[in-house]
Chains A and B, each alone.
Chain A
Amino acid sequence: MYRNKLLSSVLFLSIFVFSCENEMKIDEPGNLVPKTVDQDSSLPSIVINEAKLHAETFGNPNNPIIFILHGGPASDYRYLLNCKEFADNGYFVVFYDQRGTGLSQRFPRSYYTSIQTSFDDLSSVIAYYRKSPVQKIFLLGHSWGAMLAGAYINQYPNAVNGAVLAEPGGLKWKDIEDYVKRSRKMDITGEALNNALYMDQFLTGKEDEHAILDYKYKLLASTGDENENVGNEGLLPFWRPGFILQDVYFDIIKKENSDWTTHLDQFSTKILFIYSERNKTYGVVHAQKVSSPFPNVQLFETKGAGHDMLSFPTGWNNTFPVILNYFNTLK
Chain B
Amino acid sequence: MKHKIIIIIAVLFCSMSNYCQAQSINWAGLKEEHRHLVNLQLGIDYGVIYGLGYSYHLKSKLPLLLNAEFSIPSGNKFFDDFKTKIGAHAKLFKMNNIAVSLNINGIFRRYENTLVSLSNFGGSGNIIIGYYSPKWYVNGEFGFDRAIVTHFEHKDVYKSNFPDVKDGWYETTGGNVQFGMQIGYSFDQSDIYLKGGKTIAQDFKTSPTIPIYIQLGYNLKLK
Contacts and interface: CB of A to CB of B under 8 A. Distances in A.
A6 interface: no
Interface stretch (B7-15, B24-32, B130-138, B171-179): B171-179
B187 interface: no
Interface string B191-223: 000000001011101101110000000000000
Interface string A180-207: 0000000011110111111111111111
Given A34-B162, A202-B150, A191 B77 contact: yes
B173 A26 contact: yes
A189 B176 contact: no
Contacts of A23: 149, 168-171
Contacts of B209: 196-197, 200, 220
Q: Among B81, B113, B152, which residue has the most Cβ atoms of chain A within 10 A?
A: B113
Contact of B147 (A24, A195, A201): A201
12 contacts: A34-B164, A189-B48, A194-B48, A194-B74, A195-B114, A197-B47, A199-B118, A200-B176, A200-B210, A201-B208, A204-B203, A205-B201
Contacts of B46: 197-201
A110 B170 CA distance: 29
A218 B150 CA distance: 18
Contact of B166 (A31, A204, A222): A31
Majority SS at the chain A contact face: loop
Contact of B81 (A32, A188, A198): A198
A313 interface: no
Given A204-B175, A219-B115, A223-B113, A193 B166 contact: no
A238 interface: yes
A136 B118 CA distance: 49
Chain A interface size, as a band, is: 35 or more
A204 B122 CA distance: 13
Given A24-B166, A199-B111, A200-B176, A193 B47 contact: yes
Given A31-B166, A222-B113, A239-B162, A189 B75 contact: yes
Contacts of B47: 193-194, 197-198
B75 A194 contact: yes
Interface pairs A-B: 9 shortest CB-CB: A200-B208, A204-B174, A189-B74, A194-B75, A191-B75, A23-B171, A195-B113, A204-B201, A191-B76
Nearest to B208: A200
A25 interface: yes
A239 to B, nearest CB: 7
Contact of A202 (B114, B115, B118, B161): B118
Contacts of A220: 209
